[in-house]
Chains A and B, each alone.
Chain A
């Protein structure tokens, strides 16, 4: 740490915990910690969810019951008011989006790299918050973008979808409203990506900055206050992890609703 006339320069960088880090290279492809976390989340979901819902009776128990409750909430409370009778046709995609984003957010709260460092003694980067990477949220938004338009075309046919792309307006307004709709369609995936990325990044940078205060002040009082602050912020981050998964899913449902129901 350097103190240069009132300006404190420290080597602690709160962004250190959220930036993408190179792990290894396979067949010329560089694998980063965020790519690893995305793969880990997919693997966890592919293994855990089928195991959770596998049961002999009609009534699921334990973790399966929790998953079922969440699925029913998403289908009945979030999707059905917007998608109506088209709900069951698209609910598989909506469930996948919710559980994938939620798992990525929650995995970001697990200090996997720190555990490995504690056990092995060597510095590890096998961890991190993948949804605080704009390329990960951008990819998720791109998948949502293509799915929204494909669902719309499947529901109404390609010509029907193009014809109903904009709401009914007097004919002199048609070019303007089509322009607005095209601009809105381009902006949608960016809006989805930015919202998830910014919220997850901000929370983890705040956590990193709070922890940095310990290195900056190096006294017990600040240390104790910081630990309490970090615990409270972590609880808030846990809430934000669920909230952002909910919001991403909710907006995807709204956009699917615009595409599959022409009256929107």
Chain B
């Protein structure tokens, strides 16, 4: 018998993975290559199939069709305990009857390793909880349990570490701290991390590559910056941060630049950022890219006039304006509080402007 847990290494490859539960298709023809050593995030709303995908990689579910491989080793139908994969479960699933030391040693002992002390103490030192090794999981705080769950998995040196909403149960401050810590641990041990979350901030902070999933399919995959700056679908534009999406008609294409008509205003964008082949598109612009001015004082190339400020909220680092346009659509504008913002009040008539380079155009969803 080949010990897969020790031998298989390399990129994780999912080929044509499909998973049905009765009539419901949870994962639909999924293709994914996760490079060895990367910190990869599967991001999507609940029910998008991300957890099912993770469970298939872990061996807790069997795909209806398709193959899963680590390097050259096919693991599609291998038992969970035969895979070079370990999981950090949601709510951690630490064994309540065992001490922290025995929890961490569990995987090593099952593989018949006699002398576990050194490996366990080393990994406990890595997560800075060596002093708690004789406690039971129930005596630890949420953040400590989380780190033990990571330690219990990485002590086995798997080719792949799966993290299922690992920070979901922690409060905001602790979550921020753990995001940085997990990223540091990943760099330290060099294991491929595959992380499932519905929290876009968590995915963007930790992962070097994100796959955005929706309805069982991957909408778009790329680096956090790439996904944020160049969304390819309406779903991605709205799921990662906020976007203003305005109906427009494509006008002239001068090679590098394309102009579109937004309610009579001419808006310019780089042709490469037009993701649609249709004549009717949605023009997108991120709220923080827009400048807000008193009516008629615009300087930018792209400008929309005659907006009325309907709401202003001050959120510390920025001020968020809600502006109603003549065609009754509300647009969001974020201005940094750097002292340069115009003295704009609720009810003021304003002009919105931005650089053409920040503009993108997408297929409308319907």
A binds B: no
Q: Which residues of B approach A to under 8 Å, CB–CB?
A: none
